[in-house]
């Protein structure tokens, strides 16, 4: 089903995992499987689908026949006293539905069942996309912690150099104190990131209603990514899950309107029976036919309501398509911006920042560069490393949002 094809992207296209992972590590495929199995928002749809199937079954039944017993001319006065003059009629009757009531009723119930199935598929896309977003939020924080530890290691190396120079009397002890302050601040940042990571892990495991039972997630931001073409994205909007939901709702409204129109047709009731006259001890057959007079349509208000809702649905389809196209274009532009900036950071800015750190470290040892120059160079390098990861996470977030919105697998060939 095309509206579910984005899952293939998550599991096989834009993700690259190690071949083997520790038992305590969580892969995206594990997270998605757990979500499908235990997510509370998805569990309720099983009952709703069963309820819709029950209504479809109910719609197949026609009215049951009726049996009646009528006693006349008894327990009165004069000749009608007692049961001597009583007349008893035993009858059987059946309502014959006209106007294709049964078929239209079944069509409406089937359309309702399809709407429930489509709603489940839409919700499944939403839940899986949310799980994937939370997974990559955990991965981003893990990367931030790793980079922060690298920055801490650089500071500790610089602290050793400063301590040696201070012992030699080349620099004042205040420089050692300054680095120690930076180091402790970096450690505090790492602890804060660990707290954010624990929160993100809890939010991820909440997608399958459990507490975190993993140490870390296993995955990577795989690059380079071939971004989808604008024309492909705009074409995919016509098959967007949100748009398809409206189409399913439109079919349901049409089916319900037809069922109400059919229900406005009068039904024919046919019956036959046997009448016994106790006074004359005679028996005779009785045949009856009846049909209500439809002086006015009993469903005129309901039919009008369905027609109004149908017009509203058509209007919503136009608005949703326009809105989705605008959002898709915005995501494409955002993807291109993040991709370009990440490439600039990776190819140009990071190499220059690393070169600057090496030069200032060497200059500090020789006494040609100040401590502030070294710290500024290290902080610049750290910020660029964080920006690279942030842009990679932003690209993945936009891709997931685009896949969720359109239900299409643009990156299916990238493995």
Check pLDDT > 50 for residue 11: no
Give the global pTM: 0.80
Phi, psi of 408, rounded to the nearest 5 degrees: -115, 155
Q: How many CB atoms lie within 10 A of CB 220?
A: 12
Would you state the structure tokens that stand for residue 178, as one six-digit string?
Answer: 């300054």
pLDDT category, 13, cuts 50, 70, 90? very low
Check pLDDT > 80 for residue 204: yes
pLDDT category, 411, cuts 50, 70, 90? low
Q: What mean pLDDT comes out for the span 352-377? A: 95
How far from chain centre, in Å, is Cα 360?
A: 50
Higher per-residue confidence, 400 vs 46: 400
Calculate what percentage of the chain has a pLDDT beyond 90: 40
Cβ-based neighbours of 407, under 8 Å, separated by 6 or more: 2, 3, 4, 5, 6, 125, 236, 239, 240, 241, 244
> Are the C-beta atoms of residues 46 and 124 closer than 8 Å to each other?
no
Q: What mean pLDDT comes out for the span 291-311? A: 83
- Rounded Cα distance, 24 and 35, in Å: 18
Q: What mean pLDDT comes out for the span 168-196? A: 95
Q: What mean pLDDT comes out for the span 158-186? A: 94
Going through 278-382 in order, the beta strands assigned E by DSSP cover 282-290
Torsion over CA: 258, 259, 265, 271 (sign): positive
The alpha carbons of the chain give a radius of gyration, in whole angstroms, of: 37
Residue with token string 């009993």: 298
Long-range contacts, 41-46 (Cβ 8 Å, 24+): 41/123, 41/127, 42/120, 42/123, 42/124, 42/127, 45/116, 45/119, 45/120, 45/123
pLDDT category, 8, cuts 50, 70, 90? very low
Would you state the structure tokens that stand for residue 174, as one six-digit string?
Answer: 């205040």
């Amino acid at each position: 089903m095309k509206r579910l094809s984005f899952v293939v992207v998550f599991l096989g296209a834009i993700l690259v995992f190690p071949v083997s992972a520790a038992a305590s590590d969580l892969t995206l495929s594990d997270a998605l499987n757990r979500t499908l199995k235990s997510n509370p928002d998805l569990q309720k749809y099983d009952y709703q689908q069963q309820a819709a199937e029950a209504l479809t079954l109910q719609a197949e039944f026609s009215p049951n026949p009726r049996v009646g017993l009528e006693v006349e001319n008894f327990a009165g006065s004069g000749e009608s006293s007692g049961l001597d003059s009583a007349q008893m009629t035993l009858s059987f009757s059946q309502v014959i539905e006209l106007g294709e009531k049964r078929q239209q009723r079944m069509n409406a119930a089937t359309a309702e069942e399809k709407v429930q199935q489509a709603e489940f598929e839409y919700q499944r896309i939403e839940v899986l996309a949310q799980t994937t977003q939370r997974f990559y939020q955990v991965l981003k924080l893990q990367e931030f912690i790793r980079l922060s530890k690298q920055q801490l290691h650089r500071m500790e190396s610089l602290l050793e150099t400063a301590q040696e120079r201070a012992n030699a009397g080349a620099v004042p002890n205040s420089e050692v104190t300054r680095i120690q302050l930076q180091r402790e601040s970096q450690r505090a940042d790492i602890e804060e990131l660990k707290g954010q990571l624990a929160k993100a892990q809890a939010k991820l495991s909440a997608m399958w209603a459990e507490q975190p039972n993993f140490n870390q997630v296993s995955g990577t931001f795989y690059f380079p990514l071939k971004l989808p073409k604008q024309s492909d994205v705009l074409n995919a909007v016509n098959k967007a899950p949100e748009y398809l939901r409206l189409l399913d709702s439109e079919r349901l409204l049409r089916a319900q309107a037809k069922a109400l129109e059919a229900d406005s047709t009068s039904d024919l009731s046919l019956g036959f029976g046997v009448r016994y006259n106790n006074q004359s001890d005679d028996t005779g057959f009785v045949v009856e036919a009846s049909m209500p007079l439809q002086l006015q349509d009993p469903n005129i208000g309901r039919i009008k309501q369905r027609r109004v809702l149908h017009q509203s649905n058509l209007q919503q389809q136009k608005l949703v398509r326009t809105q989705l196209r605008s959002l898709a274009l915005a995501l494409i532009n955002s993807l291109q911006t993040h991709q370009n900036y990440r490439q600039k950071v990776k190819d140009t800015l990071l190499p220059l920042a690393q070169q600057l750190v090496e030069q200032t470290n060497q200059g500090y040892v020789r006494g040609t560069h100040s401590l502030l120059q070294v710290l500024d160079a290290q902080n610049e390098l750290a910020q660029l490393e964080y920006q690279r990861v942030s842009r990679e996470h932003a690209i993945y977030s936009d891709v997931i949002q685009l896949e969720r919105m359109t239900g299409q697998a643009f990156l299916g060939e990238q493995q």
